[in-house]
A and B are shown apart, each in its own frame.
Chain A
Amino acid sequence: MANIISDETIEYVGILAKLELSGEEKEQAKKDMGRMLDYIDKLGELDTKGVEPMSHVFPVKNVFREDVVTNGDIREDILKNAPGKKDGMFVVPRTFE
């Protein structure tokens, strides 16, 4: 494996992804990520000089909607996805800055 993922990197990625990994899971994730990067490295063999980075795979552009209200009140449906609800709102763990 050409790419070795350090303990610091896996720790950092875990924080960004809000994941708590056990020691065993960390070791496995390090291996998996290393192999993924090896796979992607294959692309590095290509000469991409002068090639614009692609942002979209389909040859489609300029898809717009007009500024007209088309949606009504579907609060009851939307709140069906809430783990908890109160006063018409989603309940989440106490969060503030």
Chain B
Amino acid sequence: MAKQYETVIGLEVHVELATRTKIFCGCSTAFGGEPNTHTCPVCTGMPGSLPVLNRQVLEYAVAVGLATNCTISRYCKFDRKNYFYPDNPQNYQISQLYLPICQKGRVEIDSEDGKKFVGIHEIHMEEDAGKLIHDEWDDCSLVDFNRSGVPLIEIVSEPDMRSANEVIAYLEKLRMIIQYLGASDCKLQEGSMRADVNLSIREVGAKEFGTRTEMKNLNSFRAIARAIEGERERQIDLLEEGKKVVQETRRWDDNRGESYAMRSKEDAQDYRYFPDPDLVPIVLDDAFLEAVREKQPEFREDKMRRYKEEFDIPDYDIEIITESKHMADLFEATVALGSQPKKVSNWLMGETLRLLKEKSMDPEEVGFSPENLAKLILLVDAKAINGSVAKEVFEVMFAQDIDPEKYVEEHGLKTVNDEGALRRTVEEVIAKNPQSVEDYRNGKEKAIGFLVGQTMKAMKGKADPGMVNKLLKELL
């Protein structure tokens, strides 16, 4: 019988923090600036410049640590990781090796075999590197240091995952926690969340770990899943052929669906870490931790539990709405304004999700206010506008957050509730469409749909379809 192998996976996840400025200087972290316009002597590694820690970076790191059940280091400091690379202007990266800010945490995930915990070995703060652009024309490389010094936290897990599904469940869990904290938008495609996968295999039942490889360049959940499957197969093939797995860093090529070994940087894995003398130690007291703890939001699990008790909406709606903190906030604020929960949920689950998908936007980017959504729901409830007009108004509101009341007023979209006017229109439609009238009277129920449509068209959509239906039946 063929040997059975188990996959052992640990993750290093880098998350770009949502601060306004860099970790050690007052340069903007805004995305998309012209090259090198967000730089200064500190983040370009000029001799004599002095880095000073951004307090917000520390707060975010501690907040993520508390949310992932870590022990927060009361005494921590920064170290220099030395290596030469053109995107690293100091020739060292400021990171934390000896005393990282958070240690020994864990998060709960749903796996194929039920709930399980994934351990967090540590979380440390560090700075990002610049960006290298290859210039084919002049056969040289160009460096943009706008990203140099952008704050990162690196979350190092224990080797507790056993499948691609568990890895993705873990990443989604981290993303949800961090988004709820507002500490990062965690977009894999845009690089604000990056995952390196450490993977080894061993025979089922073996106690020792096998030799692991590290996989880089994974920028979607799909790529991560494919890379894990590919690397597992590659390692099994090696062992089955009697060869050995070499400990190395590999780069995943998602277009080709395979990985290749990265040229080792002259085996310079010797980073000669030492404490950074420019940065003074951080000593955290109870008051600091308490202040961060007090600011922690209600996380998704608690929110879901509370929604179940407080709002009469289906579990499925709760699941979707709480997937984004922004959507959940919008939901709660609209309900607080007096709208019926199910109606609010319907707008979020229906039209909002549809438009987000159509415009490939994230739920976090929804721009309309709870006040305006509440007004729209009120207009529908009062039968001031009908369903299709409401959808039309919603689209405008989604794009520009307009006040639906004013918009309906200004564009004359109010439903005509004047029965006399409606009756006259219905009579005209009946007179103009003798064939459909005939069909209906001969028992073709469907013909009435056409007549309703014609009436709505004549009313420019501003009629209550229920009333039109009623009038038609009455007059036929």
Contacts and interface: CB of A to CB of B under 8 A. Distances in A.
Interface string B460-471: 000000000000
A84 B35 CA distance: 15
A79 B36 CA distance: 8
B100 to A, nearest CB: 14
Interface stretch (B4-12, B54-62, B63-71, B296-304): B54-62
Interface stretch (B38-46, B103-111, B352-360, B447-455): B38-46
B455 to A, nearest CB: 59
A89 B35 contact: yes
B25 A96 contact: no
B26 A71 contact: yes
Nearest to A57: B277
B249 to A, nearest CB: 9
A60 interface: yes
Interface in B269-326: 270, 272, 275, 277, 279-283
Interface string A45-83: 000000000011110111111111111011100110100
A90 B243 CA distance: 44
Interface stretch (B135-143, B154-162, B433-441): B135-143
A40 to B, nearest CB: 14
Contact of A67 (B20, B139, B266): B20
B36 A88 contact: yes
Contacts of A63: 52-53, 279-280
B280 A75 contact: no
B142 A90 contact: yes
B206 interface: no
Contact of B280 (A16, A62, A66, A71): A62
Interface in B18-33: 19-21, 25-28
A71 B40 contact: yes
Nearest to A78: B39
A21 to B, nearest CB: 15
Contacts of A96: 132, 134, 141
B420 to A, nearest CB: 64
Nearest to A18: B84
A42 interface: no
Contacts of A22: none
Interface string A2-28: 000000000000011010000000000
Interface residues of B, number: 56
A62 B28 contact: no
Given A92-B140, A97-B263, A67 B56 contact: yes
B77 interface: yes
Contacts, number: 137
A32 B415 CA distance: 93
Contacts of B37: 73, 75, 88
Contacts of A93: 86, 140-141
A79 B143 CA distance: 11
A75 B39 CA distance: 7
A96 B217 CA distance: 14
Contacts of A70: 21, 26
B46 A64 contact: no
A32 B134 CA distance: 40
B2 interface: no
A95 B25 contact: no
Given A15-B268, A64-B54, A81 B46 contact: yes
Contacts of B53: 63-65
A65 B84 CA distance: 28
Contacts of B405: none
Nearest to B266: A15
B91 to A, nearest CB: 9
A72 to B, nearest CB: 9
Contact of B143 (A66, A73, A90): A90
B55 A66 contact: yes
B292 to A, nearest CB: 14
Contacts of B46: 81
A89 B34 CA distance: 10
A27 B349 CA distance: 74
A84 B57 CA distance: 34
B262 interface: yes
A66 B21 CA distance: 9
Contact of A58 (B36, B145, B262, B280): B280
A94 B82 CA distance: 21
Interface in B77-96: 77, 82, 84-86
Contacts of B77: 55-56
Given A67-B21, A78-B40, A94 B134 contact: yes
A87 B143 CA distance: 10
The 8 closest A-B pairs by CB, nearest first: A70-B26, A89-B142, A67-B56, A64-B55, A55-B275, A92-B86, A90-B143, A73-B37
6 contacts: A64-B54, A65-B21, A75-B34, A86-B142, A92-B86, A95-B141
Given A69-B28, A78-B40, 15 more contacts: A56-B277, A62-B283, A65-B21, A66-B54, A67-B54, A67-B57, A68-B26, A69-B20, A75-B37, A88-B34, A89-B35, A91-B140, A92-B142, A94-B139, A97-B263
